[in-house]
Amino acid sequence: MRHLLRYVITRLLLTIPMVFIMLTLVFFVLRVMPGDPVSAMLGGHAPEKVIKQKQEELGLNRPLIVQYVDYLWQICRLDLGESMIFKQPVIQPIMEKLPATFELTLTGMAFTLIFGVMLGAYAADKRRTARDYGIRLYGIVIYCIPVYWLGLMFQLIFGIWLDILPIAGRTGPRVFASTFEQTGFYLIDTLLIRDWAAFQDVAIHLVLPSITLGLVVSGIFVRLTRANMLDVLKSDYIVAARARGIPNRRVVYKHGLKNALVPILTMLGLQFALLVAGAVLTETTFSWPGMGRLLLDRIYLRDYPTIQGIIIMFALSVAVASLIVDVLYALIDPRVRY
């Protein structure tokens, strides 16, 4: 237990420079981007005197290094600042949109594991057959498809042609907003109040965006699971299990897959960042009211504090997910702790 605690503390300390580097990159990239937040705020037709006065009010006329130091000190005080455009605390819209993004990302991750891991294990079991080659081809093709194009195709097929699934939003017009005032996670809130009609409506709206997000990332897990399963299926204990007459399905999917999950778990933490990045495009495609759409809207408005706050939340989410996966990895394989 002492070694595990030391390992967790080390990983927490390593997270600090990662977040610091991310904050620094975001700060300076925003400042070199074309466009002026004051002009965007004032409509682009304000007199020069008014623009300079507003820049001085917002502190944008100070030296860049001074702005950077003030920004870091503000973050150290756990203050994300105030929106330049809407004059509200940055944390307010972020906390409103964060549950939508997490709900989409987590369900997308579930579909990633279902499609990627199970298809990879099946391909390993049927190696060097037409099914194996087909699944391997799927893994290559699906990873190369842009997430927004796949989303548009799903909208066209299932939403327009077949008309069986909604193509935008988190809920239908008959679901009241007061239903989701407890956690912001619509699936959880509808379960807590036992509103099964609202739960079904939320789940149906979640199908297309989460499958779109999950399928694109599943290609990585197909190839990784297949490669690890092939190594595991050559192990002596697998050969012995088959020699004892244990059914092949049980040998592959219970004994073999269980021991092949350690590297897959590691990859899951690394791919969480890809899922979050894909959620930005998925939210735009499906008009999903999450952090991705909020980020794009505030980029158009050059709202520096809100953009920085959103990036910070994304970075912290990825860091926490990576830390959780590393701790689970250390619990499964004690060698990692030393």
CB 192 within 8 A of CB 88: no
Give the pLDDT mean for 21-41: 75
Let me know whether 176 and 272 are in one domain: yes
Residue 319 confidence (pLDDT):
78
Q: Tens digit of pLDDT for each residue in 157-193?
A: 999 999 898 988 888 776 665 556 677 788 888 888 8
Indicate if 10 and 105 belong to the same structural domain. no
**208 and 252 both lie in a single domain:** yes
89, part of any domain? no
Higher pLDDT pick, 60 / 190 = 190
Find the domain containing 32 and state its range: 2-76
Residues 201 and 262 in one domain: yes
Shared-domain flag, residues 57 and 100 = no
Is residue 336 a part of any domain in this protein? no
Buried b / exposed e along 88-106 (16+ C-beta atoms within 10 A): ebbbebbeebbbbbbbbbe
Together in a domain, 316 and 273: yes
Query: For residue 98, which amino acid is it?
Result: L
* Domain final residue pick, 24, 48, 76: 76
Question: Phi, psi at residue 175, to the nearest 5°?
Answer: -95, 125
Task: Tell me what pLDDT residue 210 has.
Answer: 92
**d(Cα 132, Cα 152) in Å, to the nearest integer?**
28
Domain total in the chain: 2
| CB proximity list for 266: less than 8 A, separation 6 or greater | 325, 329
254 and 141 share a domain? yes
Cβ atoms of 293 and 301 within 8 Å: the answer is no
Give me the pLDDT at residue 272, please.
Answer: 75
Q: What are the DSSP E strand ranges found in the chain?
A: none
Indicate if 51 and 105 belong to the same structural domain: no
* Residue 180 belongs to some domain of the structure: yes
In a domain, 88, yes or no: no
26 and 103 housed in the same domain:
no
Residue 331 falls within a domain, yes or no? no
* Domain boundary pick from 46, 76, 106: 76
Q: 155 pLDDT band (50/70/90 cuts)?
A: very high
Highest mean pLDDT of the ranges 32-41, 110-119, 271-280: 110-119
Alpha-carbon distance 4 to 324, whole Å?
13
Say yes or no: 23 and 139 in one domain. Answer: no
pLDDT: which is higher, 139 or 87:
139
Per the model's pLDDT, the better-predicted residue between 40 and 6 turns out to be: 6
pLDDT in tens, 209-251: 999 988 988 888 898 889 888 888 888 888 888 888 888 888 8
Mean pLDDT of the chain: 81
278 Cβ contact partners less than 8 Å away, ≥ 6 residues apart: 108, 147, 213, 216, 217
Q: State residue 41's pLDDT score.
A: 67
Has residue 322 been placed in a domain?
yes
CATH number for the domain including 280?
1.10.3720.10
On whether both 132 and 242 belong to a single domain, the answer is: yes
Q: Which range, 108-112, 155-159, 281-285, is most confident? A: 155-159
Residues 143 and 269 in one domain: yes
In a domain, 303, yes or no: yes
Which of 50, 76, 102 delimits the end of a domain? Answer: 76
